[in-house]
Structure 1
């Protein structure tokens, strides 16, 4: 146990300014998204640019490319939420079982493609884990831009999966951030589901 504590303290001491910036802006954007606040999108742009650099240098190539996708969805989400801000009739929608089944199938296919690519084309030591987390995040982010309530269930699941991965990569602060993300995602799911039911 003392060795583990020493490792944690050492990782905190080595945390870069960039990781602090990414952590703070990442926390803010997820918190604001759970509250349906449109400012989550511009703040997320700062976070994803920062983490894109961090993940590339940590050889988490799937996550690095995912940040570029997040940047695009931040711009799209900002536009989509702004356009539909005046429409209060049904701001949140929910998938049925068939749509969720299709969502899982898409994640499985994306995982196979990304994992194979990362294994063959990069020096990643966690190609399929990176590919899986990237695939789930890819889908969850798109569902969030469309205000589909189940996006939060995917985020809870993948945030928990990310924690040991980031610890393995020496990104302790980011691992703790994803623990906080999972907690926020749970509350986001409850709040969005309650809002959805109010408009049913």
Structure 2
């Protein structure tokens, strides 16, 4: 245990300014998401853009691809949340059966597709694990963009697998960020449930 702590401290000491900035933007994004604040999207775009470069350097190709997806989905989510000026913002709701089918398609179809790409076209040493983290995060981010309460559950499935993967790839700061995201997502789930009940009472 002492050896792991020493390794963690040493790796944190070697953490670059870009890594710190990416992590700080990631923290800002999830805190803003928990508060149902639209500014989560510009924070997410900035953090994801930095993460693409850092993850490619570490050989986590699917995670880097996931960051590209985050940028695209952040733009998509930003547009959906704002919508037209004269319309109310998209309400917080639970996912429908059809939306759950899309989630399953993104998760399992994405996992297979990413795994095959990593296995055949990259030097990834963890294609199965990397693909699983990315595909579940894809599904969770899609739910987040549509303001579905279950996004927190699906994203936390990704977080559970991501933490050991990031430590294994010597990215301790990103791993600790993911632990933090996991905890915030638990609170976010209950916060969004309260928002849903409040909006339902108003309507």
TM-score, structure 2 as length reference: 0.91
Q: Does 1:150 align with 2:145?
A: no
Paired residue for 2:109? 109
Instruction: Tell me the equivalent position of 1:74.
Output: 74
Greater shift, 157-166 or 99-108, is seen at: 99-108
Contact 2:164 / 2:175 at 8 angstroms: preserved in 1? Answer: yes
Shift of 1:99: 4.2
How is 1:91-106 mapped onto 2 (pairs within 5 angstroms)? 91-96=91-96, 99-100=99-100, 102-106=102-106
Moved more, 94-103 or 113-122: 94-103
Runs (5+) with no aligned partner, structure 1:
none
Contact persistence 2:80–2:90 (CA under 8 A): no
Q: Does 1:130 align with 2:116?
A: no
Q: 1:162 to 1:84 in 2, by over 3 A?
A: farther
Once the two structures are TM-superposed, the CA of residue 2 in structure 1 deviates from its matched residue by 2.6
Rounded Cα–Cα distance in structure 2 between residues aligned with 1:156 and 1:84 = 31
Shifted more, 103-112 versus 181-190: the winner is: 103-112
Q: CA deviation at 1:198?
A: 2.9
Q: Distance in 2 between matches of 1:21 and 1:108?
A: 32
Counterpart of 1:21 in structure 2 is 21
- How many Å apart are 1:100 and its aligned residue? 2.8
Distance, in Å, in 1 between the alignment partners of 2:95 and 2:17 is 40
Q: Is the 8 A contact 1:111 1:135 kept in 2?
A: yes
| Cα deviation code 1:76-122 (max 9, x no counterpart) | 21221112686558711112456435523431121111112101110
Structure 1 residue runs of 4+, over 3 Å off?
A: 84-90, 96-99
Report if aligned partners of 1:34, 1:187 keep a CA contact under 8 Å in 2: yes
Task: Measure, in 2, the Cα distance between the counterparts of 1:78 and 1:106.
Answer: 20
Hey, what's the Cα distance between the residues in 2 that align with 1:93 and 1:39? Answer: 20
Distance 1:129 1:28, change over 3 A: same
1: CA distance, partners of 2:85 / 2:149? 17
1:23–1:86 distance in 2 versus 1, CA, 3 Å: farther
